[in-house]
Chains A and B, each alone.
Chain A
Amino acid sequence: MSYFDFFYNKNIAKNNDTIAGTCYSMCPQDEIDLRVRENSVHILEVIGPVKKLVKSYCRSAADSNMAVPRILRPYSTLKETLEYLLFEVLKRRDVPTVVLYDFINDRLRAIRQDMTIQRLLSKQCACLLEPMIRFYVYFAYRLYEQPINDFDPVLNKKYLLECMKWFLSCCDDMDQKGEDKLEELTAPFSNLNINKNEFDRTLVESLYILCNLYDIHPLLRYLSLPRDLKRDSMLNLSYNIAVANIKGDFINTCRLIDKLCPLTYCAIFLYLPEIQKHALQVLAYGYNSKQLTVPGEVLQTWLRFNNKDETLAVCRHYGLEIKNNAVRFARDSFKKEVPKHQLQQNSLKGKGLTVEDIFTYKRNIL
């Protein structure tokens, strides 16, 4: 074989190496048979007398070939499965939330696996990933107080990051190929075109900043985004929060947090104890005095505590002295090594928001 043929073959193989799934149900028949036989149908897959199985996640192993069209679900089925999980299963109230989370997380991983094996188009990936990102952000908040055995925030963050990075690289891909532009051109000719806002890119870009608040990379990414994206009010707000936080300007950080939408608030909520702890430490230096104090209510509004009791309790937690509902700051008494405090979860902003809303709300409606 000449070198030319060698190169030629190599390049052909590279481009055509995709598999299209042919499994049009949420779970391949093989798996249904196996799981029914082995008695491993999840409680959430049983609806009264009906069994409705969803393909479960299975680690790829050397001896198993997963690239079989028969067990892979195409995009339309994946989308259907995702919607079933997030809109139907998530409504179930007969099991603890943690069980619900574990089940859905596992099935979402299976969806991502199918996406990877089939190498779906960037746009399709983005459509599937955006609701998943919402799911992980929301449950990180919702299950925040659960013991580590029931809910592991680190693992959740890992999945979240995986989805976000994938989503963002899909967006970069689309930017580069100019797919959106093409669509704009064809849009007037097809009224029944798929809704252009099928996924909320700026929401994810904002979450990427706020979920990695102390990381400089999301900020560098923001800075290099196209101008029209940067001008988006929420994305810009998220950037400003992160920059204010880097500069230690907790007053501004907390003020800007008030303007966030529910999901971005969920993201920042997990950082709030850290922000508050650092702020209290700065205040302990700034207001260092043997006699003078700062009223508890002032701290409460500055640092967005839920109530006065919580404010004073947190201050006490870090070794600060309380006198007549006011805090006496002293740099030497502040205990840096104490683990950071936990916050009580306040009801999510924008009351009346159902779980379903979390996955569908668009910011301009709120």
Chain B
Amino acid sequence: MSNTATCTLNQYIQFVERSFRTSQGTILARLLSLRDDHVGNRNLRSSDIATLVNGNCVEPLDEIIIYHLLCAKALCMKEYEQAYERQSSCVASVVKLIQAQQGDNWNLPLLYTVSLDLRLVAQKAEATYPSNGKILEKAAESLLAGFRVCVGDNRSSEPYSKKIGMLTIVNQLLKVYFRINKIHLCKPLIRAIDSTNLKEPFPLAQRITYRYFVGRKAMFDSDYHAADEFLSFAFQNCHRHSFKNKRQILTYLVPVKMLLGFMPTKKVLYKYDLALFWDLACAVKDGNLRGIDKVMEEFESFFIQAGIYLIVEKLKISAYRNLFKKVYLAENSHQIDIASFQAALQIMGHDDVDAAETQCIVANLIYDGKIKGYISYQHQKVVVSKQNAFPPLTSLC
């Protein structure tokens, strides 16, 4: 195996054939991966791959090998659009092969590998020839074909069922959909996964990726409790050395937790190089609206790129609550003038706020259950409950 980087084309074909005949899925996958040493092998980059392979190899494999090697060749020549076309054909051939092999699933690693490669090549092509996500969209269609084969495998008994491969392909699709901002397309995939009940659970790594994306989707749908649950699972189970992934999960988990009233510790934020959230958390805690605006301005592109800008905007509501609680504690009374709240808002950076808007903010907080009490328009006062006037945010659901 070790000499695929230098072997001849014939030897390479023999390797592929042997691993196919002996049902060695992982080895076969490696031999047809674009991220393996053999991609750099000059012997495999002959000028006429198609005629050399044709007739030199068993039926379904020849097509796959041809497309794979043509794709590798295009990649070496930096012709990414062409590489994409070829990898897409390669995936189609693999899907056909896998569909034909009923009652067995040893070949799933091959499907995983070519699917992942397709996404990577598509991303590269998209970056080189921007098409508004059209290349990635087409890639998603190819991936869906693989997904359908996995879902549709109803006849094989469980340890040999291709259903176990669903989640890996779904994760690839989720990655594509999030990248091209077509989050609504995730819904049928999520439904398909949630309604599958296999005895053996999906691999943990795939479950983590899946929850990460489902959590992000819940966040977009403003379902913060669900988002918290999914993202927390992902964070807790993610391998401790996967620093980048953990940081990525935290980027979403932290603002969600903050919205639900749980403030992050300084230690964890600094550990994961997310200090900006510390400034944000402090500003929210203090009801410092100007501080929130400052963080938002400074890290605007980060928040926008991560898609959490609007969530951060919503944190201002928590900041209002914290600010008003401070006013309440300072006034030490159950009847507080609207004017006091208004003044506090103005001091904290809401310069042009007037009495009407202040009342609107208070009314919303009461409506959300964040303040217990009522407003009197006639007296321009807020009357708060004698007990637990500002229930902790974490106690609300």
Residues of A bordering B, CB below 8 Å: 2-4, 7, 10-11, 169, 172-173, 176, 216-217, 219-220, 223-224, 243, 246-252, 281-283, 285-289, 292-295, 298, 302
Contacts and interface: CB of A to CB of B under 8 A. Distances in A.
A3 B132 contact: no
B77 interface: no
B376 interface: yes
Nearest to A14: B85
B307 A293 contact: no
Interface of B: 48-51, 66, 70, 82, 85-86, 130-132, 181, 220, 222, 304, 307, 309-310, 313-314, 316-317, 356-357, 359-364, 366-367, 374-378
A287 B363 contact: yes
Given A251-B356, A298-B377, A302-B360, 10 more contacts: A7-B85, A169-B132, A172-B132, A217-B181, A248-B360, A285-B363, A286-B375, A292-B374, A292-B376, A292-B378
Contacts of B357: 249, 251-252
B361 A223 contact: no
Nearest to A281: B367
A285 B307 CA distance: 32
Contacts of B316: 247
Contact of A220 (B66, B307, B376): B307
16 contacts: A2-B48, A2-B50, A3-B66, A176-B131, A176-B132, A220-B310, A246-B314, A247-B313, A249-B357, A251-B359, A251-B360, A282-B364, A286-B359, A289-B374, A292-B374, A302-B360
B210 to A, nearest CB: 22
Contacts of B314: 246-247
A-B pairs, top 4 by smallest CB distance, nearest first, are: A286-B363, A251-B360, A3-B50, A285-B367
Contacts, number: 92
A349 B378 CA distance: 33
A2 B364 contact: no
B377 A295 contact: yes
Given A173-B132, A302-B356, A249 B51 contact: no
A176 B352 CA distance: 39
Contacts of A287: 363, 374-377
Contacts of B374: 286-289, 292
Contacts of B313: 243, 246-247
Contacts of A246: 310, 313-314
B317 A247 contact: yes
Contacts of B85: 7, 10-11
A75 B95 CA distance: 43
Contacts of A173: 132
Given A173-B132, A219-B310, A247-B314, A286 B50 contact: no
